[in-house]
């Protein structure tokens, strides 16, 4: 085999490396002449066929991450997910099921998911009115989500005091 490989390399041909398994799906390995793309990790959860941690191309779209997770199930409500949003390292993408009360659980004291709560659900929190709730949802959709609660401080109208007051009521 080494002789065949050596002959191919001398002849200007290149063998394609075998696929690499990442997150349950085979990915073609990069050959030495191809540009290496930066990879990040995202967590895809909810109504997808294979929820889990996936390594994806940095700057990719949420739609690609959902596809890597096997795509949405028949129960998925993709209207609750911005598929065009850019991915960020450490991001969690939650695909809600149709009819699910996004962002709220049966436990009234449980934190609301910042990654999937509607503007109306956010308005139910102390210190968040309709304008601020809309800004939070807009920021989430524009950036592909919140990987931590600290990023909520980037929303216009949320200062350090308000952020601290919201920490127990919200989860990323």
pLDDT value at position 35? 53
pLDDT value at position 118? 83
Point out the domain boundary residue: 49, 69, 100.
100
Q: Which residues on neighbouring strands pair with residue 171, listed in sequence order?
A: 113
Report helix, strand or coil for 92. strand
Q: Does residue 54 lie within any of the structural domains?
A: yes
Point out the domain boundary residue: 55, 77, 100.
100
CB proximity list for 109: less than 8 A, separation 6 or greater:
none
d(CA 29, CA 99) in angstroms, rounded, equals: 40
Q: What's the N-to-C CA distance of the chain in angstroms?
A: 51
Q: Does residue 147 lie within any of the structural domains?
A: yes
Cβ distance 80 to 98 under 8 Å?
no
d(CA 170, CA 112) in angstroms, rounded, equals: 5
| Domain count within the chain | 2
pLDDT value at position 65? 93
d(CA 163, CA 11) in angstroms, rounded, equals: 63
Per-residue pLDDT of the chain (172 residues; tens, 9 = 90+): 443 333 333 344 433 334 444 445 444 545 444 456 799 999 998 889 999 999 999 889 999 999 999 999 998 888 878 888 888 888 888 888 877 654 444 445 567 878 778 888 888 888 888 999 899 888 888 877 777 888 888 899 888 898 888 888 887 7
Q: Are residues 110 and 170 in the same domain?
A: yes
CATH number at residue 71: 3.10.20.600
CB proximity list for 73: less than 8 A, separation 6 or greater:
47, 48, 49, 97
Point out the domain boundary residue: 85, 100, 115.
100
pLDDT value at position 59? 87
CATH number at residue 130: 1.10.150.320
* Domain that residue 46 falls in: 37-100
pLDDT value at position 64? 94
Q: Does residue 86 lie within any of the structural domains?
A: yes
pLDDT value at position 110? 66
pLDDT value at position 53? 93
Q: Does residue 7 lie within any of the structural domains?
A: no
pLDDT value at position 108? 53
């Amino acid at each position: 085999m080494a002789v065949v490989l050596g002959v191919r390399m001398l002849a200007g041909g290149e063998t394609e490396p075998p696929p690499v398994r990442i997150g349950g799906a085979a990915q073609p390995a990069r050959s030495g002449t191809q540009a290496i793309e930066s990879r990040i990790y995202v967590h895809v959860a909810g109504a997808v066929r294979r929820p889990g941690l996936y390594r994806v191309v940095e700057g990719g779209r949420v739609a690609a991450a959902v596809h890597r997770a096997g795509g949405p199930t028949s129960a998925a409500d993709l209207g609750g997910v911005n598929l065009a949003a850019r991915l960020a390292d450490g991001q969690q993408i939650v695909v809600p099921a149709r009819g699910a009360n996004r962002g709220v659980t049966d436990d009234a004291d449980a934190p609301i998911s910042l990654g999937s709560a509607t503007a109306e659900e956010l308005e139910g929190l102390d210190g968040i009115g309709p304008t601020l709730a809309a800004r939070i949802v807009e920021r989430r959709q524009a950036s592909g989500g919140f990987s931590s609660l600290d990023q909520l401080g980037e929303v216009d109208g949320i200062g350090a005091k308000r952020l601290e007051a919201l920490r127990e009521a919200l989860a990323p």
